[in-house]
Structure 1
Amino acid sequence: MAEPLRIMSLHALEYCERLFYLEEVEEMRVADERVYAGRRLHVEIEKKDDARKGNVLSRPDVVRRKKKATKPNANPEPAWAQRAESQQPVQDPEETEGERVTLSLESEKWGLTGKIDCIRRRDGMLIPYEHKRGRSARTPDNKPEAWASDRLQVIAYAALLAESTGQKVTEGRVRYHADNVMVRVPIDDQALDDLKHSISRARLLQSTIERPPVTENERLCVKCSLAPVCLPEEARLASMLSELPPEAREVRQLKLFPADDDRRTLHVLTHGARIGRKGDRLEVSVLGEAPQLHPSREIGQIVLHGFAQISTQALRMCGQQEIGVHWITTGGRYSGAWVSGTGSVQRRIRQYRAFTDSELCLQLAIRLAEARARGQLSFLLRSSREAERSSPEMQSSIKAIRKLLSPMLRATSIDSLRGYEGGIGAYYFRALPDLIVPEAGEEMKPDGRSRRPPRDRCNALLSFGYALLLKDVMNAIMVVGLDPSLGFFHRPRSQAPPLALDLMELFRVPLVDLPVIASINRKQWDIETDFDIAGQQVWLSDEGRKKLISIYERRKSDYWRHPVLRRSLSYSRIMELEVRLLEKEWMNEGGLFARMRLR
């Protein structure tokens, strides 16, 4: 037997089918200020109930329908209803008759479960009440009426109440507190038919792996807590860009995706440091030092470097509050992450199905490779404008990259695309030494690209920066709920997550290459204290890692204006946005992924 539907899920279904699917099928729920305000309203109502004399009744949390007695005309009522009749009415600011009761109900017949805000008896009839924080809908002649989603919700409560008590319920009521209006909802055959239709539609949506389309009513999206996950405006923009001519593409967009993330990343670099839990705070303990306390609500990620540790209690709290936990080795390599959930199975199925489509993978890979190549070219062009950094080698690399760009965009296979992309990367790193000013010193200039291990100081900085970037991209993938082990460009390997490596290509230049070269030219590095050299291997020292983490985190908080979305977001938010835009590519809402360009 299927799990019962929450009556609140029917409210979401009537409001927006996509909202229902995200919450009930993919199990994504986000509480914003409106959700918390609604919760506070119900808490206040319950407190008022408890304060009224005789209002707290002894009753089970879930009332199921009792079997009728074998005697004719027997019609027993639940204990709470019998007691309600025997007690004196309680005075209420909204009503002056009857008694308030809050009740949880569940029905196998309807396949529903829910909690009624209030039940009253009027002229011998039971009436369910639903309280809403906002304003009522209005008819053309300005009379108050219930919103369609609120109407369906109170109809469902009435149906369960009628089944539970064996009494006919002919009316439900919705109280809108913002405009102090009480709206009556008739419970007739049409109302019950509407309820049956909604339940059938909900079950149908539960059985599919495809998300419903974005609602056409954009006003619903403004007040939706899941708008940053759903990205309705981006879906509408993608549709517009694919259907309208360029001159008709000017459109006002609602800025529903947050521009920045208020939570910060906590890096723990001291060997032997331990992260524990103290109430709702994270406690970082280092031997011989006073513990540091960090409110968990302010932390978005924890990065454990080297041999730092974390307790299971702290891990559990991180899982509850969706705080990503990542590990980076003492050598600066990203080693893994911990996540409490794995994303919904529907999302994984859609991802697997998409990445088995070779044509789609090639299209995405070309777009990705173009974004990185144009970013590398823009970086070289920007630097070549300065006379002291322009050289024949740089001009030669720029010319070669431009020459390879055109055939790369016409690649007919992933393998040939990798060849073009690798060639462009080789020319880019060949020109990288010319981006460094002479005052920075020859010791800071790279000798090509070397890794595992880095063989010079610049490559040590780049490698550690790429590890930090991989960590952030992995965190964005886990937040969205995709599988990082299946990508569309990089080959599957035993350890490296291909999808994370794919998405890293968008951010290598703006988040790592550019700030690293800029810091070298500003002479921020001490060639002795910031690096550890062992033979041909060069690593960052503890001080060097702290310095690069600071540079990287500052860069990640910088704002950048998206050329297609035409709004500014921090790089930390753009990472998550690009993952969500990638997911839209196989949901008939694509066209915006990998459109970012470095200017």
Structure 2
Amino acid sequence: MKKLLNTMYVTTEGANLRKDGENIVAEIDGTERSRVPLHMVSSVVVFGAIFVTPPLMAALASAGITLTFLDRNGRFQARLEGPVSGNVLLRRAQYRVSDQSKDIVRSFLIGKISNQRAVLRRALRDYGSDYSIQERDRLETVTNRLGYIIRRVEYSDSTIDLLRGSEGEAAALYFSVFDYLIRSPDKTMRWTGRSRRPPRDRVNAILSFLYTLLTHDCRSALESIGLDPAVGFLHRDRPGRPSLALDLMEELRPVLADRLALSLINRRQLCSKDFISQDGGAVLMTDDCRRTVLIAWQDRKRAEKQHAFLDEKVPFGLVPYIQAQMLARHIRGDIDAYPPWFWK
């Protein structure tokens, strides 16, 4: 089993990262603030204007540690990595099946919609008595409708475009009741609908940030297995887009990202003061807010859950790696189908 290593996040603009022996040293205003051994790190992610010395870049590349640059709001800018370790035979097989991937798309969607449904069912279980009759009825209606869509995806001989349509229908239903899952009394922490680039409210700002982190982990997992993260099945190919990483994250984000965002809000770890509203309508996270989310994200990745296919407990942080491994095994023909990851 692959060892779960840490991702090092650097959020303080003006920080300096350098190599000292076999360590990564973070300095602010010439004062050392952190020292992390290279062998304990799987990747380094920096936000905003942070200086990384060339010797450290070389050391990271040599050790197979990816260095990712994001802007201060979490938008991807660049990625530095060493020699590509992709398995050429596996990638050839991936390219061959990429245009005939209906079964893989179906598995991704069954996992995603099942996990969306599980999130709603957990809310009904935990907060059912707090809901009004109308809210409870609406949640039950949506969970039942999602169950129908799962069966339709699983048993119908739909084209990939029709499967994508089912995914869009399920997402619209799921997010139509997402505000019911927010139990915080803070009226500024409400959900009014999905908005991106830029996010238009505080909940969207949290979700977009978590989705960026999850995409990074999925891309790293695919590359470690030898798959090409740019050639997807559910998401159409587009220059510069890690389509397969976006495919892989679909079944994971209801649990790893959405539920974490809800927990941070409902436990009142995040509130209105943690965000900045700009004149154009964009809502940005403060530095303290990002740090709070990153700490919670790392803690979440260490939590364990039973993996139905492997029949053993694994940390959430290893799930992208395991699912990438399952996808590679299916593409090679070692297993008959790609087994989705289910949260129950």
Q: Which residue of 2 aligns with 1:404?
A: 149
- Paired position in structure 1 for 2:220: 475
- Contact 1:486 / 1:499 at 8 angstroms: preserved in 2? yes
Residue 290 of structure 1: SS of its match in structure 2?
strand
Deviation at 1:309, TM superposition (A): 2.6
1:280 to 5, 14, 22: 22
| Secondary structure of 1:372's aligned partner | helix
57, 77, 88: which one pairs with 1:345?
88
- 1:422 offset after TM fit, Å? 0.4
Which of the residues 448, 472, 475 maps onto 2:193?
Answer: 448
Residues 391 and 434, structure 1, Cα contact 8 Å, conserved in 2: no
Higher deviation after alignment, 516-525 or 364-373: 516-525
Residue 265 (structure 1) shift: 1.3
Aligned to 2:140: 395
Task: Give the whole-Å Cα distance in 2 for the aligned partners of 1:401 and 1:292.
Answer: 46
Q: Does 1:309 align with 2:51?
A: yes
1:223-278 Cα offsets, whole Å, 9 max, x none, are: xxxxxxxxxxxxxxxxxxxxxxxxxxxxxxxxxx24x41x2111111112221111
Q: Does 1:532 align with 2:276?
A: yes
Q: What RMSD in Å do the two structures reach over aligned CA positions?
A: 1.6
Asked if 1:423 is matched to 2:163, the reply is: no
In structure 2, distance between residues paired with 1:312 and 1:517: 40
Q: State, as a whole percentage, how many aligned pairs show the same letter.
A: 27
Superposed, 1:244-283 pairs within 5 Å as 257-258=1-2, 260-261=3-4, 263-283=5-25
Aligned partner letter, 2:136: S
Opposite residue 527 of structure 1, the aligned amino acid is S
Unaligned 5+ segments in structure 2 are none
- For residue 591 of structure 1, report the CA deviation from its aligned partner: 4.0
Whether the 8 Å CA contact 2:265–2:271 is kept in 1: the answer is no
Query: Does 2:109 align with 1:365?
Result: no
Identify if the C-alpha distance between structure 1 residues 397 and 294 changes in structure 2 by more than 3 Å, giving closer, same or farther: same
The CA distance in 2 between the partners of 1:425 and 1:405, in whole Å, is 12
Q: For residue 350 of structure 1, what is the amino acid of its counterpart?
A: A
Letter in 1 for 2:45: V
Query: What's the CA shift for 1:447?
Result: 0.5
Distance 1:534 1:579 in 2: 39
| TM-score, L = length of structure 1 | 0.54
1-structure distance, mates of 2:182, 2:290 = 21
What secondary structure, in the 3-state scheme, does the structure 2 residue paired with 1:464 have? helix
Provide the C-alpha distance between the structure 1 equivalents of 2:240 and 2:130, rounded to a whole number of angstroms: 42
The one-letter amino acid paired with 1:355 is: S
* Structure 2 partner of 1:512: 257
Distance 2:306 2:81 in 1: 31
Structure scoring higher RCO (CA < 8 A, sep ≥ 6) equals: 2
Alpha-carbon distance in structure 1 between the residues aligned to 2:136 and 2:240: 40
Query: 1:183-219 CA deviation, whole Å, 9 max, x = no partner?
Result: xxxxxxxxxxxxxxxxxxxxxxxxxxxxxxxxxxxxx
Q: Point out the structure with max Rg over C-alpha.
A: 1
Cα drift, residue 290 of structure 1: 2.9
Partner of residue 565 from structure 1, selected from 306, 310, 334: 310
State the TM-score, normalized to the length of structure 2: 0.93
Structure 1, 396-405 or 365-374: larger mean CA deviation: 396-405
